[in-house]
Amino acid sequence: MSIVVTAATGALGRLVVGELLERVPAERVAVVVRDRDKAADLAARGVEVRVADYNDPAALAAAFRAGDRVLLISGNEFGRRTAQHTAVLEAAQAAGVAQLAYTGILGGPEADFELAAEHIATERAILGSGVPYTFLRNGWYHENYTRELPAALGHGAVVGSTGEGRVASAARADFAAAAAVVLTGEGHLNQVYELSGDTAWSLAEYAAEVAAQSGKEVVYRDVTAEEHLAVLTGAGVPEGFAAVLVDVDAAIARGRLAGTGGDLARLIGRPTTPMAEAIREALA
Do 64 and 79 sit in the same domain of this protein?
yes
pLDDT of 95 > 90? The answer is yes
Give 140-176 pLDDT, tens digit per residue: 999 999 999 999 999 999 999 999 999 999 999 999 9
Do 244 and 160 sit in the same domain of this protein?
yes
Give the per-residue pLDDT at 38. Answer: 97
Mean pLDDT of the chain: 97
Give the per-residue pLDDT at 56. Answer: 95
Of 123, 138, 153, at which residue does a domain stop? 138
133, part of any domain: yes
Do 86 and 17 sit in the same domain of this protein?
yes
Do 145 and 283 sit in the same domain of this protein?
yes
268, part of any domain: no
Question: How many CA atoms, within 13 angstroms, populate the side-chain half-sphere of residue 164?
Answer: 0
Do 283 and 146 sit in the same domain of this protein?
yes
Do 214 and 279 sit in the same domain of this protein?
yes
Kindly report the pTM of this predicted structure: 0.96
* Domain at 13, CATH number: 3.40.50.720
50, part of any domain: yes
265, part of any domain: no
Q: What percentage of the chain has pLDDT greater than the value 90?
A: 98
Do 121 and 210 sit in the same domain of this protein?
no
Do 94 and 158 sit in the same domain of this protein?
no
85, part of any domain: yes
Do 87 and 215 sit in the same domain of this protein?
no
pLDDT of 63 > 90? The answer is yes
Give 97-123 pLDDT, tens digit per residue: 999 999 999 999 999 999 999 999 999
Give 214-260 pLDDT, tens digit per residue: 999 999 999 999 999 999 999 999 999 999 999 999 999 999 999 99
Do 128 and 146 sit in the same domain of this protein?
no
160, part of any domain: yes
* Domain at 235, CATH number: 3.90.25.10
Number of domains in the chain: 2
Q: What percentage of the chain has pLDDT greater than the value 70?
A: 100
Of 98, 116, 138, at which residue does a domain stop? 138
175, part of any domain: no
Instruction: Convert the chain into a string of H (helix), E (strand) and C (coil).
Output: CCEEEECCCCHHHHHHHHHHHCCCCHHHEEEEECCHHHHHHHHHCCCEEEECCCCCHHHHCCCCCCCCEEEECCCCCCCCHHHHHHHHHHHHHHHCCCEEEEEEECCHHHCCCHHHHHHHHHHHHHHHHCCCEEEEEECCECHHHHCCHHHHHHHCEEEECCCCCEECCECHHHHHHHHHHHHHCCCCCCEEEEECCCCCEEHHHHHHHHHHHHCCCCEEEECCHHHHHHHHHHCCCCHHHHHHHHHHHHHHHCCCCCCCCCHHHHHHCCCCCCHHHHHHHHHC
Give the per-residue pLDDT at 1. Answer: 85
251, part of any domain: yes
Do 284 and 144 sit in the same domain of this protein?
yes
Could you tell me the residue range of the domain that residue 36 belongs to? 3-138
Q: Amino acid letter at 7?
A: A
Do 125 and 156 sit in the same domain of this protein?
no
